Each structure stands twice: as C-alpha cells, then as structure tokens.
C-alpha cells in the first residue's frame, strides 16, 4: 500500500493534517507527519523527512505533500538522499485537501500515480459555488 508523508514547517500542522485526513480512512496506517525541527521549533529538516519516508514505505512507494518554501526543498533533498531506494513522488497540491484525497485513494489500494493524481486534483477544489 502506498504510504503518505505530510511535511510542514510546523509539527502541529503536519500532525493536524494527518489527524484530519485519517478521519476519512481510520484503518489506514501509513500516513506519517514530518513537521518542524527536532527541538520542536518551526522549520524543515530533510533528515526528519527522510526518516518519515522510510517509515511510510512498505514497498509500494510514498506520496509526499509539503506546504511551502523549505519544506519543499527539504523534501526534494530527502528524495535525492534515497538514491532511488523506493519510489517517492511529491504532489503539487494544498496539503489539507490533498491529504484527504490521497489517504482515501491510498486506503483503497491505489498505486502511487493514482494517489498523486487524487491529491493534485484537490488543487481545484472549490469552497463555494460561483
């Protein structure tokens, strides 16, 4: 089953996004938050992301959702450090909407490309009708 990692500058944001998304698929167990620095302060740490990627992977790959700036850069560095050990892709999407869509797809056994596609489709989610 595809794993999911949520990367944020804030540990609370990463954990909260996972908590919310997992309400849609409580049986899913491979969603890992990777937020903040080791000391609990705000920031992004490639080694924390790398550890989360390993924790989320069970052989089918990992989808990553990152918020902004150095979270994206740290994720890209972590992916490089893997040296193609297993498939990892970062979705271009908002982390909340993308995480909900991704966890639903992953929980029903969708492949990595399907999980990424679902997360990226959430980018166009409207909050209200025009």
34, 52 contact by CB (below 8 A): yes
Q: How many whole angstroms separate alpha carbon 65 and alpha carbon 116?
A: 9
Residue 47 — φ and ψ, nearest 5°? -70, -35
Residue 77 — φ and ψ, nearest 5°? -65, -45
The Cα-based distances of 95 to 39, 58, 82 in angstroms read: 23, 22, 22
Q: What is the pLDDT of residue 123?
A: 87
DSSP class of residue 18 equals H
- CATH code for the domain defined by 3-124: 3.40.50.510
CA 53 to the chain's CA centroid: 9
Ordered alpha helix ranges (H), the chain:
11-22, 46-56, 70-82, 95-107, 112-121
At 94, which helix (H) or strand (E)?
none
Beta strands in the chain (DSSP E): 3-8, 31-35, 62-66, 88-90
Q: What is the pLDDT of residue 130?
A: 66
Each of the 130 residues of the chain gets a pLDDT tens digit; together they read 999 999 999 999 999 999 999 999 999 999 999 999 988 899 999 999 999 999 999 999 999 999 998 999 999 999 999 998 999 999 999 999 999 999 999 999 999 999 999 999 998 887 777 6
Is the model's pTM score more than 0.75? Answer: yes
Beta bridge partners of 6: 33, 65
Q: What is the pLDDT of residue 122?
A: 92
**Both structure tokens of 12:** 């609370």
């Amino acid at each position: 089953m595809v794993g999911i990692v949520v990367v944020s500058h804030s540990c609370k944001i990463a954990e909260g996004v996972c908590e919310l998304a997992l309400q849609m698929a409580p049986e899913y167990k491979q969603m890992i938050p990777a937020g903040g620095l080791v000391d609990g302060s705000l920031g992004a740490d490639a080694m924390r992301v790398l550890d989360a990627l390993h924790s989320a992977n069970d052989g089918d790959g990992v989808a990553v959702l990152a918020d902004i700036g150095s979270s994206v850069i740290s994720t890209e560095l972590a992916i490089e450090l893997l040296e193609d050990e297993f498939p990892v892709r970062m979705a271009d999407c908002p982390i909340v909407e993308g995480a909900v869509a991704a966890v639903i797809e992953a929980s029903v056994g969708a492949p990595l490309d399907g999980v990424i596609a679902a997360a990226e489709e959430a980018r166009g989610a409207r909050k209200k009708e025009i």
